[in-house]
A and B are shown apart, each in its own frame.
Chain A
C-alpha cells in the first residue's frame, strides 16, 4: 500500500465531519488560505498545515484517508509546540499504518519547526456538544466524527501521553433557574452586569491572575488568544458590592456564545461568522460558556454568575447551557456543577509527546 501526505483541506472533511472555522481572517479561510506565519525567536515559519494522508492505489487513484489540521503555537513557557486537531477519518481502513504515517509526517514537521512537543486533542463524546468543541479555532460538529478507543491506544503506542483532560458539562436552563431560585434566597454580595465583548476586552487584563480560569492552550500566543468578535456572545461580569453602591472590584466572569453549529448546519456555512446577519433572528437552542474566570472560592460567586448567564440565555430563547474548558484538576468547579446536576457531555484528552 502506498500512502502520501499533502497539505490541503479536502471538501470531504466538511461532508464527513462538518466543521466551523472562527479564527482570524475568515474571508481568506473560506477561499482556501490561512493567513499567518509564526515568528519564534527570530525563526519565521508558516503557521498552519492542513495535513491529509491519502492512499494511492495500483491504478494511481487517490483516496483521501485521514485529516488533521496542524499548527505551531507558543506555550506559556515560550516553547514551540506542534498541535494536531483530532484525526478525522475520511475513509477508515488500516488504522494502524495510516495513523503511523500521519504521525511520522507530524514528527517531520515538528522537527523542521524545532518544536519541543507535539500535542493532539482527542475527543470523547457522551452526548451532543455545542460549539466550540476544540481548543483551536477549528471545531468539528462531533455528531458525525468517528471516534474509536483503538485510535487512542495507537496514539499512546507512539509515545503520546495524556497531559490534561478538558471537560464540558450540560444542564437545562430551566433546571438551573429552578435550582437557583430554591437555593438563592438571600441577597448576593455580588453585583452581576452584562458586558459587551469590547467592554470586557478592556477589563481582561484584570483577570490574568485569577486562580480558577477556563483552560486555554496558551495565554502567550495571540493566535490562540484571538477571539473573533461575536456580536451575540455575552459576558456576565461579577463585581463585589460596596457600601456606597459604587461598582466594586471585578471578581469573576462567564463568557458565552450561542451554538454556531445550529445556523452553520441550517444554512450550510463552514464560516458562519461571515454571515452573522442570518443569525440575528435565529432561534438557538444551545449556548456554551466558553471562557470563565473566578477570583475566589465563594459558592455565591459561582451561583451568581451561572444564574446570570443562564438567565441571559433564557431571555434569548435558549434551552440548554453548556460550560466548557473545565479541566480534570478544577475540582471546585466540578463539584459546583455536580451540585446543579450538570452532566458531562464531552472530554478533550490533550495528548502530548516530546520531540526527539
Chain B
C-alpha cells in the first residue's frame, strides 16, 4: 500500500533500571495535538496519510520496526514531529532508519525543529527539510509537490520550508502563519488515521509505570500562542513570534471546541486536558466555553492547566461544568518567594493572593495539583527555603491538593533564558541541538550524560539545583504519602 505521507511520532527511550519485560522505559508519549489535524487535512485533500506512534507500537508489538513500517506503506514523505526537545535523539535515529531503508523524503516540524532547523539540516543528511512554524499549508504543498516531482525544484514556493538544495541550505521566503480561520478549518478530533488509537488512549500523561489507568484522557485544541514571557518557557510570546510569527494568542471558535468535545465523548473519552490558558485577561473565552459545555450537557472530567491564578467565579464555573471524577486544576507556582516568582514568570501575584485562590478552590471542593521548581533565575538556597515552607503550609492546610511536584527547571530552546542567559544569570552547557541530541542519546544507552540540566546559575551549581529538588521531596514525603500518585502503601508479599 503506497501512501503519500507517513507521520512518525518518536518516543524517548530511557535505559534506567530495566523493566520486568526487559524493554526500555518509554517516556513522553503524548502526541502533539496538531499531528492529527495535519494528517486529517492531507486526507481531506485526497492524499493518503497515516500516523504511527512508535511508543504505542513498541509497547504492544515486540517485533515492531521502522523498516517493516516503511515496507508496508512505502510513503513518499515521512513527517517526524520534533516539537519537544526530549525527542531530539529519537527523531534523528528514526530519520536515519528511514533514509537507509527507503526513498522517502524526511521532513521535521515542531518548535524544537523550527528553532534548530539550520543546525539539523547541516549536521544530519538523513533530514531533507524542516517546516519552521505552522505546518498545515506547507506540508500540504510539500506532499502535493512530492506527488508530482522528485526534486527540490520549486521548494521555494512552499512556505516556511527550510531545505537542502545540493549542498546549500535554502529557506523559502514565503510565510504561512495560521490564523483563527485556518485553525477553525482543521479537524483535531478524528483519530481514524492514528494506528492503534485504542492503545494510545490506554497510555496517559497521568499514569506512571505500575499504575492502572482508569481514565481516557484527550487533548483538545483550543488555540495557539501566549501573551506571557516566562523566562524558562520556550513557548512564550516572544518565542512564538520568533518560531511561527504569531504575535498574540489565537483561539479556536468555541463551537469548534464543542465539536471536538462531543466527538471525544462519543469515543468514550472520559476527560480532557485543557493546557491552553494564554491570557488571564481573556478568561471570558473559557467561561463562555464552559457555559456551552453545560448547555450541551457534555459529560467530561477536565484537568485544567491554569497558567495564572483565577477568581472565585472561574472556580465555581469549573466545578459546575465538569464531572467531579477526573477533574482537577493544575498550577505552577514555581517559587515560594514572591521575588523569585515575579522575576521568572510572566504572571504576577502575591503569596497572599495565592493562598486566597487556594482557599477558594478548597471551598469549591476543587482538587488541585501544584508544581514548584528549583534552579530558577536569581534563586538562592534561602529562596528555596521559602518554597519548602510554602509547600509545607499548603499540604497542611489544603487537603484537596492532590499532589505537589518540584522539578529542576529545564533549559527549553528558544526560552528567554536560552536566548539571553547572561541577563538571567545562567551559564549554558547546552547551546545547540547537538547537546540535546547527545543528552538523550546517552540516556537511551544508559551512559551518564555530561550535564543533566544543561545550565547552572551564577548562584547555584547544577548539583545544588538537583539537590534542592531532592530536599523538597525529603521535606514533604511524610505529608504527601497517601495523596501523591507517586507514593503508595506497601503492596508486596
Contact = CB atoms under 8 A, between A and B. Distances in A.
A32 B270 contact: yes
Interface in B459-493: 482-485, 487-493
A39 B492 contact: yes
Q: Which of B212, B369, B400, B484 has the most CB of A within 10 A?
A: B212
Interface stretch (B149-157, B182-190, B201-209): B201-209
Interface string A328-353: 00000000000000000000000000
Interface of A is mostly: mixed
Given A6-B198, A31-B328, A46 B303 contact: no
A308 to B, nearest CB: 29
Contact of A27 (B215, B327, B484): B484
Interface string B428-453: 00000000000000000000000000
Interface residues of B, number: 49
Contacts of A30: 325-328, 367, 402
Interface in A84-116: none
A10 B266 CA distance: 12
B17 interface: no
A29 interface: yes
Nearest to A277: B399
Interface in B323-366: 323-328, 362, 365
Interface in B189-217: 198, 202, 204, 206-208, 210-217
Contacts of A38: 491-493
A268 interface: yes
A269 B365 contact: yes
Given A9-B215, A33-B206, A48-B212, A222 B483 contact: no
A232 to B, nearest CB: 14
B215 A268 contact: no
A6 B490 CA distance: 27
B214 A25 contact: no
Contacts of A61: 266
Contacts of B266: 61-62
Contact of B493 (A49, A221, A278): A221
B204 A270 contact: no
Given A8-B215, A222-B491, A33 B208 contact: yes
B23 to A, nearest CB: 14
A135 B294 CA distance: 36
Interface in B397-412: 399-400, 402-403
Nearest to A33: B211
Interface in A262-312: 267-270, 274-278
Given A27-B484, A61-B266, A223-B491, A34 B211 contact: yes
A195 interface: no
A283 B324 CA distance: 22
Contact of A24 (B365, B489, B493): B489
A32 B326 CA distance: 6
B271 interface: yes
Contact of A32 (B204, B268, B299, B400): B204
Nearest to A63: B268
A278 B400 CA distance: 11
Given A11-B325, A27-B403, A27-B483, A74 B493 contact: yes
Nearest to B211: A33
A119 interface: no
A32 B367 contact: no
Q: Which of A28, A29, A222 gathers the greatest number of chain B CB atoms within 10 Å?
A: A28
A274 B400 contact: yes
Interface in A18-60: 24-41, 44, 46-50, 54
B20 interface: yes
B267 interface: yes
A37 B215 contact: no
A46 B212 contact: yes
B301 interface: yes
B121 interface: no
A275 B485 contact: no
A261 to B, nearest CB: 15
A36 B488 contact: yes
Point out which of B211, B216, B325 has the most chain A C-beta atoms below 10 A from its C-beta.
B325
A64 interface: yes
A146 to B, nearest CB: 20
B483 A46 contact: no
A220 interface: yes
Nearest to B21: A44
A184 interface: no
Contacts of B326: 11, 30-32
Contact of B214 (A26, A33, A223, A278): A33
B300 interface: yes
Contacts of A270: 324-325
B215 A31 contact: yes
Given A11-B326, A275-B400, A36 B211 contact: yes
B365 A275 contact: yes
Contacts of A26: 482-483
B207 A33 contact: yes
A269 B206 CA distance: 20
A15 B198 CA distance: 24
Contact of B365 (A25, A62, A278): A278
Contacts of B300: 11
A268 B207 CA distance: 24
B202 to A, nearest CB: 7
Given A8-B270, A39-B493, A268 B211 contact: no
A7 interface: yes
A229 B206 CA distance: 25
A61 B488 CA distance: 37
Interface string B269-294: 01100000000000000000000000
B492 A33 contact: no
Contact of B271 (A29, A32, A49): A32
A226 interface: yes
A24 B488 contact: yes
A49 B485 contact: no
A109 B489 CA distance: 24
Nearest to B403: A27
B267 A32 contact: no
A14 B323 contact: yes
A2 to B, nearest CB: 14
Contacts of B369: 31
Contact of B491 (A14, A37, A41): A37
15 contacts: A10-B270, A25-B487, A25-B488, A31-B303, A31-B369, A32-B325, A33-B211, A33-B485, A47-B491, A64-B268, A74-B493, A223-B491, A229-B482, A270-B325, A274-B399
Given A31-B327, A31-B328, 7 more contacts: A7-B212, A11-B300, A31-B215, A37-B491, A41-B493, A74-B493, A226-B489
Query: Which 6 pairs between the two chains have the least Cβ-Cβ distance?
Result: A32-B215, A28-B485, A27-B402, A39-B492, A9-B214, A48-B212
